[in-house]
Amino acid sequence: MNSQPLGGSSLASSRLAYGCMRIAGTMDRSQLTSEREATGRRAVLAAYEAGYTHFDHADIYGNGLCEEIFGRVLREVPGMRDRVLVATKCGIRWKGDPDASAPHRWDFSREHIVRSCEASLRRLGLERIDLYMLHRPDYLADPQEIAAAFSDLKWQGKVREFGVSNFRPSYLSMIRAACPMPLVVNQVEMHLARLDCLEDGTLDQCLEDGITPVSWSPLAGGVLGDGGRPDPNDPRADGLRALLGVLDAMAKRLGVSRTVLSLAWLLKH
């Protein structure tokens, strides 16, 4: 698989990344069975053997289980750690964290960012995370606290490079201005059924500032993939069905699958 640098950093990523959000098969630790873990492990290994080197995580995926499962695979496959880029995210806190009265919220405080990173390192079994991202905007964030947290993690050797996820251009600029290190990626939802990035300045900013855009859910949760269909209750269902009709006709003419065509469009951008 072809690879590319992330931003102006030394990190090299496969053009396609493997999202690890579902490798535990559950968000409930009590429901993680040996069968579910085996399925997740097989998926990770299949992606690795197919040439994926970029594996994307977040601390909330499977309530930490996804990082744990991936960490066990890393330890068991000789040479895998040296060949892959491990990315993870922080900032979303569940209700009840750290005590029963705490609400579900977003938290970009210095304390939470550092503590979350250290917890991810333990679950992954790593000394350093290659790419660490803020997950979704915290509207109470103090840019200087974020900069201090990133500086702590960089100076301590716990993170190589930093990025963000789901940030609008102005919010990214605000954080970037406070940080002494570059932000190398902005991970956003972009696909043929979600074109906001082409209109809201996200891709323009990436081009201007040398930030690599990373698309999550590149097949719209499977809708754009082979055999995918829109949810009939989706208010966009009629438009999606029309889009799929165009995709299917074009894919047939070109002799490729709908999945390949959808990803080719995305990679062009």
10 Å CB burial of residue 76 (0-12, 13-18, 19+) is exposed
Q: Please count the residues of the chain.
A: 269
Contact 183, 214 (CB under 8 A): no
3-state secondary structure of 141: coil
- Catalytic residue set: 61
- DSSP letters, 42-53, are HHHHHHHHTT--
Dihedral of the CA atoms 75, 53, 244, 269 (nearest 10)?
A: 150
Whether 15 and 3 have beta carbons less than 8 Å apart is answered as: yes
